[in-house]
Each structure stands twice: as structure tokens, then as C-alpha cells.
A and B are shown apart, each in its own frame.
Chain A
Amino acid sequence: MEILFVLIPVSIVFVALAIWIFGWAVKSGQFDDLEGPAHSILFDDDSDMIPTRDNKPKNKPKE
């Protein structure tokens, strides 16, 4: 169990890294718009992929 003396300090380093990355995200404006992404995932924009009567979709999704 002595390995804990190595592992736990290592995890402290990781936590510090995580906090630093979070700080960068906040500063670069990732958290500025907390409502937008919730709405934009609901807008599909796939109406031209729905197949018409002759069963051919006008716009095929990229293969």
C-alpha cells in the first residue's frame, strides 16, 4: 500500500491540471452562453434529407 504515497500526489497534479484547464475555458468564453446550446441541439435542419414520394432523399448525408 506504500504505492499510495506516489499515486495520491500524482492525482493532485492531475487535479491542478484540471482546474487550470477549467480556468482557461472560463476565460476563453466557453461559459458565456449557458442557454444557447440547449436550444440549438433541437434545431434539426434535416428537412431536405427526408425522402420524398419517389423515395429519394434530396440531400444524402455525407457518406
Chain B
Amino acid sequence: MSQKCYHCDEVIPPGFHAELTIADQPQSFCCYGCFAIAETIVSGGLEKFYQHRTQSAEKPDELKQSQEAELQLYDDPALQTDFVTTEEDLSEAYLSIGSITCAACIWLLEREVNKIDGVYNFTINHTTHRASLSWQQDSCLLSTILLKIRKLGYKVHPYQEDLARKQAQTEKKTAIFRIAVAGIAAMQSMMLSVPLYLGSFSGIDPEYVALFRWVSLIMCTPVVFFSALPFFKAAWRDIQTRHLTMDLPVSLAIASAFTASAYVTLFTHSQLDSDVYFDSVAMFTFFLLLGRFFEMQARHKHLNSDADINQLLPATAIIKTAEGEISKPAHKIELGDVVIIRQGQVAPVDGFVVEGYSRFDESALTGEFLPIDKTLGSMISGGTANVENTVWVKTSATQQHSRVAAIIRMLDQAQSEKPQTVQLADIVASYFVAFVLLAATLVGGYWYFTAPEAVFTTVLSILVVTCPCALSLATPTAMTTINTFLRNKGLLITKSHTLEAMNSTSDIIFDKTGTLTEGRIQLNATHTFGDTNSDTALCIAASLESHSQHPIAQAFKPYFKRSAEQVSTRLGLGLEGLYEGSNYRLGNLEFALNNTNAPEKLQKHAGICVYLSQKDQASEYQIIAQFMLSDTLRDESLNCVQAFQQQGIKVHILSGDHLASVQETAKQLDIKQFKAAQTPEQKLSYVRDLQTKGKEVAMIGDGINDLPVLSGARLSIAMGGASDITKLNSDAVLLNSHLSVLNLAFQSAHRTRKIIKQNMTWAITYNLLMLPMAAMGWIPPYFAALGMSISSLVVVFNSLRLKK
């Protein structure tokens, strides 16, 4: 069992040691990034963060020198005009903070930033993760504040208001105000209706009858003409599109009750021979609005997630102009601007190279972790990282039109498509509504001929008491809640049938490289020679590799302490540099040995071996360490596979890799069905084979060669590192590549189905009971309103249970 990092809960790589005493207990960390953050927290006296938090933190990105310099760009007043307003000497800015996992993070950030000299106020909104900062420009630079936030392990960007978020904000504010008006009016009307009810028992003077009725009318008017407007608008839309929803009977009920009561108040004598229903109208509106509000909150949750463009593309860029180099906010870059992208920087826009040559890491788009050569005329995509030399790129698509932005927009759009379950529910609901309207008319007709004075109340009760809420309200709430829940855990569901498909899956096929394995090179073991300590060897290797962006260098990142000097790179061979006075070489065997004899005790290893050698007094290179690297199995693969097997789902591996490594992986995971060296066509025919046998197949891959198969299976899931086309065509994307989330998703699919069934059962029982009773005239309208509202709230709250 490997140890987990105290800060971010990731597995600590073997051989890595970093410990800190927190609250009198020694704790270990997985990398110097987490360690540094913990140190900062403890030295600020804020150890309570670790006690308060309810979720582990996110593993921090390494804060490179170039990123620090990038933060300083924000001090430029030209850049600040976008998101900073200054009044006298106090400046205000809105920032968007990423990587917040729980309330304790917000507590930590607020305390730390408020401590900075010159900061007047810093608060973060718990729901939107938007921070409002006010500070004095003279006492403190914006970059200092931003740096502090980054040093604590959080991402920070200027807050960019997009249309969807703005609309959501306005919608929410209006909804709250409508609820308030309806609630206050409901309370007043209920109070004023008491004397009227009591009066029908013990007698009441006509003037007072008039008074109470008039006042109730005044109270109820804003409810009908303001608070209930959404219902009327929706009902009108229903009539126009001939698609019936719950809004139609609701609007009919509200409108008719109000009109009838108003008529009684205005035109009849103040006798208590007819009733007035203002209290029912107000209460009814209030409860319905409440239910809608909760559903809206669940729907808006996904707008606040951090997986948006702002986090993938840089916010600033340096443009080369005739006057020299100027800095610009990235979303202001125009077509034809020449952007300077230095080593380690991410391209802010799409473009092509006009000067320089380098290699780019395109894993953000394609999942391919080996860098690609870019020369004059090569296309550069926004979101990819420059690995080597500075290049000058001419913009061919602005940030809004870049490939990355388009992908995210499409993903968002797919998400907002109505799920199939909901569409089915809507159809059933519309039939139900038609039935209710019909029943109301028939019953009304019957009562008109037998006891005309009861017609109105009975019809009103029927319209009000029946509630297709389980269909129109609860099922969308359930789907939205579970989608948001899974998205927060790292699984982005893009197609509607995904959850149902999970419930019916019988066989699941995994790709090997990149899915069951990490897909990147990791350090397996270190073997040292002579009296070299393995920790020291790792430090030296890491210090040399810090100058390289090659994938092999990533394996040494966790061991980095400080940089080596005079490092030179020999393409294809290795690195050479100075560390604490001695000359070292790190690379393949011939390069490290510099053509002297090899020591006999070299370890055999199936994967890549990298050797560290030291130059001794005789100017000969002696091997002091051998590092064994390979693509390792993901930690959670075994648990994930076992969980599926326990559920009764058969697990298969289909891989394009050679037999030996696929066999090894299958053995480690105890999978009996596996095939190696598969072409995409062979994979597809394997899936079709299973399907003809009646099996429901789910497929998980990183898709560079899996595209045909992913469309062939009923359910396809793409790993987070997959190419964009694959992500678009799959039914779900596993953003953080944690396989355990898959098991969670399958369990959640079961839970969702259970909850929807519960809701349906409740709805059927309730309606079967209430409708006949209302038709008989046993249910007065206020009771009908109460019953209907409680039924909708019950069903919505049951759906919200899925949040846990």
C-alpha cells in the first residue's frame, strides 16, 4: 500500500522523502510543490486549514520562473483596464480562482491574502469561486497578490464575465425576488383569510368582509402579475407549440382563481356566499417557485465549474509590433498579430510559425505526450506548450475562435441537450396534463348540472392538486444533479443516454496504453553503484533534467531540489552539467560512459534505462546510478477492474501494443479476455462479435486509434488525455483519468434509476389518490395547493439526494 500525500492525497513516488511536522504529527508529501505549500501554511500560522478542510487539495502545477514573470505582466496598467477599476487610491478587481476544493481553501486564501500589506479587502464567493479584491496600488503590486495565491497552489485569472454566467446571475436574482414577493403576500393573505373563514362560522359584518377581501386582492395582485409571470409565459409557449407541460394547468388555476376572487371582491355584495381564494393563489405560486428555484440552482451549478477556456489558455501574451514588444490580454489578440511564445509558455491563439523553430507539446489537444517539431509555416494550436526555443507565431484565429475554445463550446452544448429520459418524461407529462384538463372539464360539467355552486371549487381543486411533478420537475433535477456531481468528480457526461447505458452494460473493454497504464514514463527503480546514495543520485539527475522538457524529464520532476549549472543538451544522447562542483552526465549508456568500459553489475530492464555518470579526477566518467523507467500500471486499475468483476461485468483488454506487455498487464489485473496487436478494424469486429451474442458493450480508451470502436460500442468513454475528436464522439470524458471515478459513475447510474423509480411511484400513488377525491369535491382549493406543493418539494428533494 503506497502512502498518500498529506496535502493532495496523491500517491507518494517510491524513494521520495519530504516531511513536515504539522500539529505535532509528522506528515509526508508527494512532491516539493505540496511540501512548499504546507510550509507556507504552517509558517503563516494557519495549520487549522488541514483540520477544517473536507476535501484534499489539488496537486499544484510547478510554478516556473516564466510563469512568475507572466504574473508581473498584470501590473501593466494597459492590461488592467480590462478588469480593474480605480477610485482615488483604492483599486478593485474581480478574479477567478481555480483548484478550490472546499470551504477551508477559501478560508485559507482569504486569511493569507488579507495579511498582505496594502490589501484592503479580499473575499471569495463560495458558489462561483469569484474573488473580489480591493487594494492600494501604491502599497502593493497586483502581481504580489497573484503570486501569493499561486504559491498556495491555486490557479488565478482575471474574471471574465461570459454571457451564460451573466444571464444565470440575473435569472437567479429575479427568481429570489419573485419568491420573496410571493412568500410575503402568501403570509399576509393567509392571515387575512382567517377572519373570513371564522366569519362564516360565527358571523361577520359586511364592511369587514369587504375590507379583508380588498386587502387580500391588493396583496395578491403583484403575485399574479409579477411572481407568477414565468408560468404564464411558459403556458403561452405551450399553447403555441402544442406541447403540454405542467405550466398550463398551473397557469389556468392561478388565473381563474384570481379572476374569480377579484370578481367576487369587486362586484358582489359583501355576503359570505362565495369564497375568495387569494391565499391559495399566493401560497401555490410561492411553493411552485421554490421548487423551480432549486432545480435552477442545480442547473446553474455546471456553469461554475473550473473546466472552462480560462484555465486552458493563458490570459496574457506578448505581441511583436513595429514599436517593440507589448503585452496584451489574450482575448484582445487580433488576426495577424505576431505572438512571441517563449520556452515553457502556452500558445494563447491558433497561428502559424513565421520565425524560429521549436517543438510543441500538444497533449492538451491530442493526448500525445511526445513533442512535435514545428518549423516555418507549421500550425500551432492554442493551448499547446512550447517545449524548446522561442518562436514567433502569426495569429490565424483569435482566442474565441481557436480550436480549444470550439471544443469546449461543443462539449458545453452537448451537455445542455435534454437527456432522453427527460424527453420521455415530458411526453408522458403532456399526456397526463391533457388527461387532467379533460377530467376537469368533465367533472365540471357534471357538477354544473347537479350542484352549480360547487363547480368552481371542484374544477380548481382538480387543476391544482394533480401533479406531474415527478416527470417534469424531479427527473430533470435528478439528471442535472447527478451530472454535476460526476463532473465535479472528474467525469464529464456529454451524451444523454450515458447513465442508462451504464445500467445495462454487461461487458467492458479497456484499452491498455494510456487507459490502464499511465501513458507517460515513470521512474520504476533506481540502482546505484559504489557508495552513491540513491537520494543524491535522484537529486543530481533531477537537477540536470530540469533543463529539458523531454518526457523522460517528467519522471524526475518530483525529486527536483535545485538546478544544475552549465547544462548542455546533446540531442538524442543526454544531458551534461555541473552540480556542486562536479561534472555529471545523464543519458543513454554510451553517452554516460563516454566510451569507457561498463561496470559489470548493470540491471536488466525491459523498459528504458537512463544512466548517471560522474567525471572523476582522471577525467573518466564512472557510472554512479542506473534509472529504470517504464510506462507503469495505474494504481487504481486493479481496484477498478475488480469492482467491475464483482458487479458481474466482464472485463476485456483490446490493445494495439505487443503481446508480451498486454499479457503482463492482463496477468497483473487478473483479466482473462485480452487481445494484443489489434488494428482498429479488429477491435471493431471484436465488439460487433460480442454484440451479436446479445452483450451490451462499454469501451474505454484514449482513442488515438480507437475512434471507430468508440462509435461502435453502446457506451464509449474517453480518457482525459484523448484527442479532441475522440472526446467529441464519446459519451463521456474522464477528465482527471482516475479510473475509480468510473466505478463511482456506474454506482451513481444505479442510484439515479432507483431514485427516479421512487419519484414515479410517489407521483402515481399521489395522483391516483387525490384526483378522485378532488372530483368528489372533498378537497378545498387551499388544501389542493398545499398538497401539490408538498408533492413537488418531496420529489425534488428526493432527487437532490443524489448530490451525496
Q: Chain A: residues with CB nearer than 8 A to chain B?
A: 1, 4-5, 8-9, 11-12, 15, 18-19, 22-23, 26-27, 31-36, 39-40, 42-43, 47
Contact = CB atoms under 8 A, between A and B. Distances in A.
Contacts of B91: none
Contact of A15 (B127, B173, B188): B188
A19 B554 CA distance: 60
A36 to B, nearest CB: 4
Contacts of A1: 208
B106 interface: yes
Interface in B695-732: none
A31 B176 contact: yes
Contacts, number: 61
A32 B125 contact: yes
Contacts of A31: 172-173, 176
A9 B169 CA distance: 35
Contacts of B211: 4-5, 8
B497 interface: no
Contact of B126 (A26, A35, A47): A35
Given A4-B208, A12-B218, A36-B126, A47 B48 contact: yes
A9 to B, nearest CB: 8
B177 A23 contact: yes
A33 B126 contact: yes
Given A8-B215, A35-B126, A47-B48, A19 B180 contact: yes
B107 interface: yes
B127 A19 contact: no
Contacts of B103: 35-36, 39-40
Contacts of B20: none
Contacts of A22: 177, 180, 184
Interface string B119-150: 00000111110000000000000000000000
12 contacts: A12-B215, A12-B218, A12-B219, A15-B184, A18-B184, A19-B184, A19-B222, A22-B180, A31-B172, A32-B125, A33-B127, A43-B107
Interface in B210-226: 211, 215, 218-219, 222
A47 to B, nearest CB: 7
A37 B491 CA distance: 29
Contacts of B125: 32-33, 36
Dominant SS among interface residues on chain A: helix
A26 B103 CA distance: 23
Nearest to B218: A12
A48 to B, nearest CB: 8
A17 to B, nearest CB: 11
A26 B184 CA distance: 15
B107 A26 contact: no
Given A15-B188, A36-B124, 7 more contacts: A4-B211, A8-B211, A15-B219, A22-B184, A31-B172, A32-B169, A36-B126
- Going nearest first, the 8 A-B pairs with the smallest beta carbon separation are A39-B103, A36-B126, A35-B126, A33-B125, A22-B180, A26-B177, A43-B107, A31-B176
Nearest to A9: B215
A5 B48 CA distance: 60
Nearest to A22: B180
Contacts of B172: 31
Nearest to B49: A43
A40 B125 CA distance: 11
B401 interface: no
B252 interface: no
B12 interface: no
B209 to A, nearest CB: 12
A45 to B, nearest CB: 8
A4 B781 CA distance: 28
A35 B215 CA distance: 37
Contacts of A32: 125, 127-128, 169
B754 interface: no
Contact of A27 (B126, B127, B173, B208): B173
Interface in B164-194: 169, 172-173, 176-177, 180-181, 184, 188
